[in-house]
Chains A and B, each alone.
Chain A
Amino acid sequence: MNILVCVKQVPDARDVRLDPVTNTLAREGVESIMNPYDRHALEEAVAIKEQQGGTVTVITMGPPQAEVVLRDAIACGADEGVLVSDRAFAGADTWATSYTLARAAQTLGSFDLILCGKQAIDGDTAQVGPGLACRLKLPFAACVQKTRTVTTDSIEVERMMDDGFDVIRLPLPALMTVVKDINEPRVASLKGKMKAKKAEIRRYTAAEIGADPQCIGLAGSPTKVVRVFSPEARGDRRVFSGSIDEQVDQLVECLRAHL
């Protein structure tokens, strides 16, 4: 079973704040990490590999320093890391990102299973996984909470729904995105870390994956960010006063502004 895992390097979202005075992003002390959902996708891939045999390839689209998350993934059990990196990819939205990843995946060869985290914590869009499935014409399941059985030609999973879950069977090759419930990711082993240090990372540029310049990066993105701002009343902590009724009214007013 050859498995491809898509990972993303993200700023640790817990630390990202807009400075309320200057309205700029305060990035001091913000660490770059492997998107937490992707860590669960990786663990699932490695667990399936350990059970079924095969290989786990990890791919990321990002700047050269995103190589770190690929080495991290290798330390956690992946066999190979692929960095898809080109200045031309900058500014990609989910449409252009899924295009780029699809081109890279096709360049790498064929996979029985592609795993992605449910979403990345910087954008929270949860769109790249399904988009990638569309481009590769693969059956897919989003938000998988459990892998029940894996055979050489199908996979049976629990797909999380808002009110419970569906048990579904997908023919392979297929793609799935996973939620955190699916497993407990392992801590990278010492042997893994040593392997990761020495590992050769494969690199692809836009040209090497045969990407159409009109479909990548900012130019290829149908959505454009026109404004970035702090959520209203963010950081404006308020403990209300007055009668219970007055306080509840104030609370409801504030919540309405947020929601």
Chain B
Amino acid sequence: MDYFFTEQQQMIIDTAREIANEKIIPVRAELDEKNQFPREILQDIAKADLFSIFVPEEYGGFGGGCYEIVLALEELARGCVGVATSFAASALGIFPVILAGTEEQKQKYLPDIASGARWAAFGLTEANAGSDAGGIRTTAVQDGDDWVLNGTKQWITNGGESEIYSIVALTDPSKGARGASIFVVEDGDPGFSYGKKEDKMGIRSSATRELILKDCRIPKDRLVGKRGTGFITVMKTLDMSRPGIASLGIGLAQAALDEAVTYAKQRVQFGKPIISFQAVQHILADMAVQLEAGRALVYAAARHIDSHPKDMSKVSSMCKVFATDMAMKVTTDAVQVLGGYGYMREYPVEKMMRDAKILQIYEGTNQIQRNVIGQELNKEYS
């Protein structure tokens, strides 16, 4: 379907597609098998200027919006969701600075993010604060000209691989969610270290790691935004980033559909290619319909977010729910079309199905997304 992209958007799509075809697809199975972080591929992505698309022009970026990120992520995810997640996490990690950072912070970090010289990560989740993000226990206490952070962040994408971390910590624990603030912690800061590296079901090329803050001392200018506004920035950041996760589902489902149709045309049973059987055709047709519906929703949501920055929670959640549930369904169906072969590591759909599952879980589970949508509906009809 023609989505009438601008010339610049088409350029982003083409570039990301080339990265997927040339750099990601040839090695994705190996990265998955070895649990190996795609450092070289991220460097290729940097050389191709893709890290610059979400950075404002005045800081060396392309000044693209949510839509541009969505388009790039979709193509990267068509190659590998693990690699695409590593890329997306850098965007997620720097959004707080873009949204709420001081001019000095922007000058300091954004040009490096745009050039891909440094990567970012987002540190919110803790062992007892997942869907209930308000339950975080990490604290930040002012001590003279410094902040001192204590706590442990869990399941942090790009943990140990990035240089720049946006850490959410309580500055006024008594105020609960209203007492949270965001800080930039840099690799090498005193008291900052990395813990356990997770062994995951899917997106195995991405690094998922504990961040340990033990009397981690950072200068006071690392506070992002006003003290106590941390959760407002977190919510804005996630509203911006969820369509990106949705687009990972689109790219992944597209890849699964491609594999399934190609296979169905080649695989002969009962003397005919299995695509000639209606039972198979109907599975493929449903996959294609769901995929295109998801894509249209994600693109529309991204365009909406780019033009209505104050009203984006509901569409952001809707596209995330729909596209990632769809990706789970479509990748599962792809495995079904490939049958026994689909279940084997030799074919890529098995990995795609494993990769799909995380999309329903991270950046807010799909249940939490439905809560958001439900609450918004409740407000709208009051």
Contacts and interface: CB of A to CB of B under 8 A. Distances in A.
A and B assemble together: yes
Interface of A: 186-194
Contacts of A189: 15, 47-49
**Residue of B12, B49, B53 with highest tally of chain A CB at under 10 A:** B49
B307 to A, nearest CB: 23
Interface of B is mostly: helix
Query: What 6 pairs across the A-B complex have the smallest Cβ distances?
Result: A190-B49, A189-B49, A187-B18, A187-B48, A189-B48, A191-B49
A64 to B, nearest CB: 22
Interface string B1-41: 00000000001101100110011000000000000000000
Interface of B: 11-12, 14-15, 18-19, 22-23, 44, 47-50, 52-53, 62
A93 B185 CA distance: 63
Given A186-B44, A190-B50, A193-B15, 8 more contacts: A187-B15, A187-B18, A187-B22, A189-B15, A190-B11, A190-B62, A192-B49, A194-B11
Contacts of B11: 190, 193-194
A191 B15 CA distance: 11
B83 to A, nearest CB: 14
Contacts of B62: 190
28 contacts: A186-B44, A186-B47, A187-B15, A187-B18, A187-B19, A187-B22, A187-B23, A187-B47, A188-B15, A188-B18, A188-B48, A189-B15, A189-B47, A189-B48, A189-B49, A190-B11, A190-B12, A190-B15, A190-B48, A190-B49, A190-B50, A190-B52, A190-B53, A190-B62, A191-B49, A193-B14, A193-B15, A194-B11
Nearest to B45: A187
A17 B47 CA distance: 37
**Residue of B15, B18, B62 with highest tally of chain A CB at under 10 A:** B15
A190 B22 CA distance: 16
A193 B19 CA distance: 14
B85 to A, nearest CB: 20
Contacts of B22: 187
Contacts of B53: 190
A194 B6 CA distance: 14
Nearest to A192: B49
B52 A187 contact: no
A43 to B, nearest CB: 11
Contacts of A187: 15, 18-19, 22-23, 44, 47-48
Contacts of B52: 190
Contacts of B44: 186-187
B266 to A, nearest CB: 15
Contacts of B23: 187
Nearest to A190: B49
A155 B15 CA distance: 33
Contacts of B15: 187-190, 193
B157 to A, nearest CB: 24
A160 to B, nearest CB: 22
Contacts of B12: 190
B53 to A, nearest CB: 7
A190 B50 CA distance: 7
Contacts of B48: 186-190
A192 B44 CA distance: 14
